[in-house]
Structure formats: C-alpha cells, structure tokens
Amino acid sequence: MDTSVTTNAVRPASADGVTEPRLHRSARSAGATSGGCDARAGGPHWPRVVKAAKTLACEPASTGACSIGVPLIGRIRKSPLACRTENHGVKRGKDPVVHETTAWRALAAAFGWVAIVPGSDSWRSGHTSRRPDARRRRGGRPSSRCYEESLGLFSSGGGETTLLEDDQGRPVTGYRGWMFQTDDRQLFPEQGVGLTPEIDARFANAAIEFIRRKPERPFFLHVNFTGPHDPLYWPPGMKESYDPAAIPLPENFLAEHPFDHGNFRGRDEELWPWPRTAAQVREGLALYYAVITYIDRQVGRITAALEETGQLDNTLIIFAGDHGLAIGSHGLRGKQNMYEHTVNVPLIVAGPGIPENRRSEAQVYLRDLYPTTCELAGVPIPETVEAASFAGVLRGEADSHHKYAYGYFRDSQRMIRGDRWKLIYYPHLDREQLFDLADDPHELHNLAADPQHSELKRDLRRRLAAWRREVGDPIAE
C-alpha cells in the first residue's frame, strides 16, 4: 500500500512476488503508511488527500513499516493512473514471461495518452503474478516499455556508491551503483551514486516539471519513490522529527521469530543483528517515519502542482505501496513474511466519480489496478487481462471484491486470507499458523492446534490447496 488524496480504503496485497496482493480489513489511516506507520509518521498532506480523495484502498498491510511508496498519477479527461508492476493480472499462457500482452502503458499510448515515468526504474522490475513459479521480468528502458518520456530516471549505472553506510552505521547493500540518467543512458554521477537523503524530492521535482507543462493530451504519469526502502538516511532538516524514546514498540514485538520462516538469512533480516532489541526497533522506526513524512511532503508538492495548474479536479490519483516491513514485529525486520504488517499495504485512490472520505474492507490485489484504472478512465479492458476491476468498490457500489486472498514467498510460505481468518503454511517445515484477525489483529495467538477450529482450518487448507493446484504451485503438497 497513502498520501494526501484519498478516501476509500481497499486493501490489496504485495506486488513483488513476496505475496499476492489483496485488499483487507486493516487499511491504513490517512497519514499512515503500510506497516505500522501511524498518523504520527505522516505529514499534513496525508489527511488532506484522504479527506479530499475519493477512495482509500489498502492492501494487506504492515503494522510496523511500509516499503517503497509509489504514487501513481494519471490525468485523464477522465485521467488514468499507473502501477509499478509488469504482469498486471495479464494472462501469459504457460509461460508467465511471454511478451504478447498489452502492458497498460502501451494501452494508454494506444488511446492517445502521454505516458511518462519519473523516478526509480522499479517501473520495470517485478510482477504481480499469482503463480508461485512466475519469474521476475526485467530488462528494457522506459522507451522500450511504451513510455514516451522519462524524467529523473534513477537506475543502475555503475560507479562507486557515494554513501557506504546508512544513518545507523550499517553497510549499504541496496541501490549500490545506481544513479540518475536519461533513457539513452547519459549518466549523472555528480548527482550522487546510490541513495541520498534528498532523493525523493528529486523524483517529485521531475513529476512537477511535467505537470507544469499542462499537456493538451490526457496523460499517464507514473511516479516512483525509492523511500522508505533501505538504506535509510535522515531527510534534510528531519533528524529531530521523531524521538525514538517516545515511539511505542509494536504490540507484536519479539526479540526473535520463534522459527525459521524461510528467510532468516536473507538480506533484509541480516541488516539487524539478532536478537532484536527495543532500542534498535525504536531507532529504526524513528528514521523510517522521518523518511515517510518526507515522502508525504513530496506528494503534497505534486498535488499542489496539479491544483496550481488547474488540473487536480480532472486527475485520477492512485497511491500504493508494494509491501510493508516488520521493523521488529514478530522478531523480524524485512518483508519476506505473510503477517499483516507486511501483506497489508497502502492503497489510496482519489479522483472524478469516486466518493470522498470513505474506507472499504474489500480485499483486492495490486494487479487489479490495471482493469480498475481502465474502467475508471473509460478505456476498454484488454481480453488478455484476468485481474478483476474493483471500480465498483471505489464508487461505493460494492462492499467486497475477493472473498479470499492468497500469497506466497518462494518455496517456504503459502497463505490464504479471508475477511476474518488467515492460514499460513510453511512447506519447508510442514507447519501452520491460524489467526483470528478480528480478535487478534496483531497475530499473537496461533490457533492452528486448537481443536475448536479444526473444521475451519480444514476448510482453509482445502481452499489453499485448490488455489495451489490452479496456479501450478511447483511445491508438492
């Protein structure tokens, strides 16, 4: 999964193959972001957007932290929007990476839209495939992916990373060698190599530059922020924004997860030493909240530019994140898990025809954004798309979308989530967790061994097994 323009909270699930996107009950409040970022972590723009916005949709969210924020803006005469992923729920036959399908940037271009991307090149990586065996699709430049122009493009380019440690003294392992560049690979290392404290303002500057042109054609503007992905640096002037001592620990804080969930030795988890400490988590959250607040300010600048140029009322704005972070919840730090603090991400939608100041408990997938934006923009949905539009939920015409949402991570995690109950299965351990999200929203009490819920568990297990067969899960049951 939010920013200052929404209203309805629908929850989708993660977009990078870590989990299947969906929409679920614990949508973030305005000013909060996926993963435990509460209103204290948001700036003045989140509430404004949420109130002014028409619909706030939140995907399975994270209680402790949220990950890469991706404002997607499309101006339509009925303007459309964008998403950072490649699959978009498009059918690809037996091979999930064939190219004979219509990316929504291509669809926008086909209908006369100006398609432009500022920001990180995460626009081209990842997917929201519902197949556990789907492969990540990479390669190409914005111009080869139907974008007419790119501004503030940040991508891999080589060179020595400018900052070798983050602001907590840990070695930088993410975005090493990345730099600003043009679509034809003219590099600008003088602007910094790797992430820098002010980088998200540069992405906003690129978006604002485009907005101020006031293009005559409807446009599809896709903005990607790198924050709050690690490495984390204090944004300019924000080092004193949050006092670690005043930040409460997550209610599900643990020093260490009770078992290896399948990623104990992954990069995200090794960024922090074991066991996790209260001081470590509070310091991490203070920095994390500061980066989120800084992004909020950039979103405020972008929406202000739309308003100043007379385009705000004619623009559909979508703000989404691709996953949350644990940041101490359940003894974890990273995103590779099926807990609510990771799979319930921010999704906020605002624009023409969408009721204001509303939240929805409907479960949606991020891949559902493709057909949803097509429908809202009046663009025909390609026949190859298998994801389902939730435009009816945004307009207040429906209360639900997917009865169950499914998720997976590599060969070690499988999940099914309904409106109240969630079952997580760990194939490598043959272990299960069953949570009552209504009575236990922080997932503290595993009811898998409770005989009172044996029939419910069997039903969820059966549905999960059917889904795994349907999508061709390579892990034998």
CB 348 within 8 A of CB 53: yes
Position 322 confidence tier, pLDDT thresholds 50, 70, 90:
confident
Decide if pLDDT at 236 tops 90.
yes
**Which token pair is 146?**
């139907």
Q: In 3D, which of 292, 367, 440 has the Cα closest to residue 83?
A: 367
Strands (E), 299-391: 315-321, 324-325, 344-350
Residue 168 DSSP one-character state: T
Residue 460 DSSP one-character state: H
Residue pLDDT, tens place only, 70-93: 333 343 333 233 333 334 444 444
CB 79 within 8 A of CB 316: yes
**Which token pair is 243?**
């006092």
Q: What is the predicted pLDDT for the residue at 97?
A: 34
Decide if pLDDT at 217 tops 50.
yes
**Which amino acid, residue 398?**
A
Decide if pLDDT at 301 tops 90.
yes
Residue 327: count other Cβ atoms within 10 Å of its Cβ.
29
Side-chain-side CA neighbours of 293 within 13 Å: the count stands at 23
Q: What is the predicted pLDDT for the residue at 27?
A: 28
d(CA 321, CA 3): 11
Decide if pLDDT at 211 tops 90.
yes
Mean pLDDT of 341-363: 90
Domains in the chain: boundaries = 39-402, 406-471
Q: In 3D, which of 326, 251, 227, 321 has the Cα closest to residue 285?
A: 326
Position 470 confidence tier, pLDDT thresholds 50, 70, 90:
very high
d(CA 392, CA 247): 38
pLDDT higher at 473 or 116 = 473
Mean pLDDT of 208-237: 92
Decide if pLDDT at 305 tops 70.
yes
Q: What is the predicted pLDDT for the residue at 141?
A: 81
Q: Apex CA 95: angle with CA 91 and CA 99, to 5°? A: 65
Residue pLDDT, tens place only, 19-58: 332 322 222 222 222 222 333 344 544 344 444 443 333 3
Return the percentage of the chain with pLDDT > 70, whole number.
72
Question: Tokens 């429908």 correspond to what residue?
Answer: 375
pLDDT higher at 380 or 65 = 380
d(CA 9, CA 23): 8
pLDDT higher at 195 or 89 = 195
Q: In 3D, which of 199, 175, 343, 180 has the Cα closest to residue 267?
A: 175
Number of H helices, E strands in the chain: 9, 14
Residue pLDDT, tens place only, 355-377: 988 899 899 999 999 899 889 98
Q: In 3D, which of 275, 441, 261 has the Cα closest to residue 337?
A: 261
pLDDT higher at 279 or 121 = 279
**What is the phi-psi region of residue 278: left when phi exceeds 0, alpha when psi lies from -120 to 50, beta otherwise?**
alpha
Q: What is the predicted pLDDT for the residue at 353?
A: 86
Residue 234: count other Cβ atoms within 10 Å of its Cβ.
17
pTM: 0.80
pLDDT higher at 423 or 94 = 423
Q: What is the predicted pLDDT for the residue at 104?
A: 62
Q: What is the predicted pLDDT for the residue at 112?
A: 72
Domain 406-471 fold is Arylsulfatase, C-terminal domain (3.30.1120)
| SS3 of the chain: helix, strand, coil, percent, to 5 | 25, 20, 55
Mean pLDDT of 450-459: 98
Distance of CA 260 to the CA centre of its chain: 25
Decide if pLDDT at 439 tops 90.
yes
Position 447 confidence tier, pLDDT thresholds 50, 70, 90:
very high
DSSP string, 261-316: -S-TTSHHHHTSPSSP-HHHHHHHHHHHHHHHHHHHHHHHHHHHHHHHTT-GGGEE
Beta bridge partners of 224: 119
d(CA 121, CA 227): 13
d(CA 218, CA 109): 10
CA-to-CA separations, 199 to 45, 295, 296, 310, 313, in angstroms, rounded: 19, 10, 13, 27, 28
CB 20 within 8 A of CB 130: yes
Position 111 confidence tier, pLDDT thresholds 50, 70, 90:
low
Q: What are phi and psi of 195, to 5 degrees?
A: -70, 145
Q: Give me the chain's average pLDDT, please.
A: 78
Q: What is the predicted pLDDT for the residue at 29?
A: 22
Domain 39-402, second-level architecture: 3-Layer(aba) Sandwich (3.40)
Q: Apex CA 344: angle with CA 471 and CA 367, to 5°? A: 45
- Strands of 431-436's sheet, edge to edge? 405-409, 413-417, 421-426, 431-436
Q: What is the predicted pLDDT for the residue at 138?
A: 53
pLDDT higher at 132 or 200 = 200
CA-to-CA separations, 94 to 71, 89, 98, 471, in angstroms, rounded: 32, 14, 9, 10
Side-chain-side CA neighbours of 413 within 13 Å: the count stands at 24
